[in-house]
Chain A
Amino acid sequence: MNALYATLLLPLVGVFILAFAGHRRQAKTINLVLCTVTFATALLLALEVFRDGAILSTGKLLYVDGFNVYLILLNAFVGMTTAIFSGPYMEHEAAIGRVDAVRMRLYYSMYQGFLFTMLMALSTNNLGILWVSVEGATLATVLLVSLYRTHESIEAGWKYFIICGVGISQALFGTILVYFAAVKILPPGAEDGLLWTELHRHAADMDAGVLALAFVFLLVGYGTKVGLVPLHNWLPDAHSEGPTPMSAILSGLLLNIALYALVRFKMLVDPALGNHLAGNLMMGFGMLSFSVAGLLLHRQYDIKRMFSYSSIEHMGLMTFAFGIGGPLATFGGLLHMIVHSLTKSAIFITVGHASHIAGTQKMAQIRGLIKTQPFVGWGLMIGTVAIAGFPPFGVFTSEFLLFTATVKSYPWLAPPLVIGLAVAFTGLFRNLQPMVFGSPPADQQPVNANMWPVFIHLALVLWLGIAIPGVLAQWLNQATIMLAGRGVL
C-alpha cells in the first residue's frame, strides 16, 4: 500500500522541486533520481500485488489489480529510461539556444507532472478522477509541445489543446451517463457510484440503453486521445513538434493510458449490454485507424511524423484486439501494449539522436547514420525491424496472437490485417533504408549519444518475443481472465 502512495507522491513532489530547480545544472540528475526511485517503488508495488492480489486503498480511491499493475510498472520504467536520455538531449537543446532557463524549468517540472497524471490515471478507482487525470495529462504536455515557440510548434500545441480538449469533453459526458445509470441501481445516498470496483460488481444491472449511449461518447472521447482515425489529426503534429523525450513518452505511454480507460469502460458496458456492440465499435475504429495510418506512412517527410503514424497504426491494432475480445486477442492486445511502448520509446530516443546528427527532422536530409555513428544507425534499424513486427521480437508475438484470434473469430478480416501490416512495413522501410545505409554528407559528425536506454528496451522486446517471463505471463493471464472471462495459460 505504501509503495503505491510513494509511487504517486514522488512525481508530485518532483513537480514542485523542479519548478524551482529545473534550470540548474543538477536538474537532469534530480529528474533521473526521482524517476528511478519512482520505478523502484513501482517495482515494490508490483511485487505486493503479485503476492497478495489486487489492492484497494482505504477510502477506495486507488485500486491496483492485474490489469493496471503492469502498466504502472511500464510507465515508471519508460519514464526512467527516457529521463536518462532527456538529460543530455535537453542540455544540447539549451546549448544551441532553442530553450532558455524558464522553459527548462517548465520542461522538467511538467515531465514529472506528466508522469504523475499518468500514474494517477492508471491507479485510480474513481472513473471521474480517471477523466480528470487524462485531461490533466493533456494540460501538462500542451506547453511542452509548443516549447520551442516556433510557428509550427505553437500550431501543433493549439491543435493538441483544442482537439484533445473537445474530444475528452465527450468522454466526460459518457462518464456522467455511466454515473447516471449507476445511481439508479446503487442504494440511495451512496457516494461510490463512480468507483470502478462497485460498478463492476453491479455492471449487469445497469440500464443497457444509457450505457450504450455512454460508450459511444466514451469511445469518441478517449478515442481522440488514443489517436483513432478520424480523430487523429492532432497526434502527428503534437508528437513531431515537441522535444523528442516528450514524443517518446507521448507515443509510448499516453496513448496506452487512453486505451486503458476505454477498456475499463468496456468491461462495465459488456455485461450490461449482453451483446458485442462495444467490441464491434472498437473493432471498426481500430481497423480503420490501422489501415489509414499504414497508408499515410508512405506520404511522410518528417521522421517523427512517420513514427507518429506508426503509433496510430499500432494503437489501431490494439483497439482492434480488445474489440475482438476473446482470450487470445486480449492477451495479444495486452502484450502489444508493453512491446509497442518499449519499442516506440526506443525508436523516438534514437530518432532524437539521429536528428541531432543530421541537424534536421526531414528524412530526405538524414543520410548514412550507420557510417557516422554506428550505434545510432543500428538502433534505428533494429528498432524499426522490431516495430514492423519481425520475429523474434515481441511485436511479432503479439501480432501473431492477434492474427490467430482474427482467423479464428473473423476469418474475413484476416486478409485486410495482413495487407495492412505489409503496407505499413513497406512504408517504414522505404524511408529507413537511405537514412541508415545511404552515404553521409561530408561534414556529418557523431554526437554525444547515450544509447543504453534504447538497447535495454530492445533487449526487453527481444526477450518478450522469445520467452515471456513467468511472472509477467501470470499477470497478463490474470488481466485476460478479468477482461475476457478466461485465460490462455
Chain B
Amino acid sequence: MPAVEVHSIYKSFEDVKALKDISFSVEEGELYGFIGPDGAGKTTLFRILNTLLIPDEGTATVLGLDVVDDYKTIRPMLGYMPGRFSLYQDLSVQENLEFFASVFGTTISENYELVAPIYSQLEPFKNRYAGKLSGGMKQKLALSCALIHKPKLLLLDEPTTGVDAVSRKEFWEMLVDLKKQGIAIIVSTPYMDEAKLCDRVALIQEGSLMQIDTPLNIVNGYDRPILGIKSRNTYKLLQALKLYEWTHSAHPFGEFIHFTEKREKPDMIALEAFLLDNGIDDAVIKEVEPGIEDSFMALMRKEVASD
C-alpha cells in the first residue's frame, strides 16, 4: 500500500488556481521531495494531505485512508512541520515536546528512541524558551515535536527555507537517518540542490506538476549539451551571449554561465571567436553536467512555450 496516493486534485481560492490536476503517489519509506518556488502550491497540497483543507476535486488517500472521510483516523498517524515556526515560544524546549506528546496520548520516554538522535542535541537547552532558540535549533525542536508520537508519515513544509547552508546540510542528514526507520517523508523546498537527496522528486510550478522522477533520471532527461562559460566580467559575458545567433539559453550558475545552443552540437570554436569579437578575451569554456536546476528551468520554459 502506498503511503500517499493522490488522483487529479484541484484547489482554487477565489480566482487563484492553487492546484491543477495533481496526481502522484509516495511509497512506504520513501523520501519524496516537492521542489518549486514560493507560490507553486506546495503548502496547499500539504494542507490537503494533512486533512486541514478539502480539495475542490479529486481524491487523496494517506496510508490507505481518505483525507476527507477518514480525517480523524489519519491525523494521529501524521507528523506535520508547517512552514512557519509554530511551536509555543513561551514554553521551554522540554515543555513543547511534552505538550505534543500528551496531545497524541503518549510520553517522551515512550518514544524517546525515535527522537533521541535529534532531541539529544537540544537537551543541554531543554529549559530554554522555544522563542529564544536559534533557527537551526528551532528546526530540530519542531522536527522532534512532529516525530514524538511515532507517525507513519512525515510532512515537512519548507523546513529549510531561510536557514543557512550549514543547518540545512545537518537537517538533511537527519532526514536520511529517519528514512532508515521506515517512515515515509514528504518534504518541500525551494532549494533545487536539496533535490538530489530525495528518492524521487516532483517538480511543481504554478500549481502544476512538471515532472516526477528520481533526481538522476530528471538530470539524465536533460536533452541538450551544456557549456559552462566564465569570464571576469559575468555581466558583459551574459550580454554578449544574448546577442549570439545560436544561443538557446544562458543563465548564471555560480561561477559559470550555463549555455545551450539551438543546434544539436554546440561549436566551441565559433563561440570563442564570437566572444572575442565582442570584447571578451578571457572566456573559459568547458562542458558541464546538467543539474536539477537546469532541468527545472528547461521545464519552465517548455510550460511557458505551451501556454
Q: Is B a genuine binding partner of A?
A: no
Interfacial residues, chain B to chain A (CB-CB below 8 A)? none
Interfacial residues, chain A to chain B (CB-CB below 8 A)? none
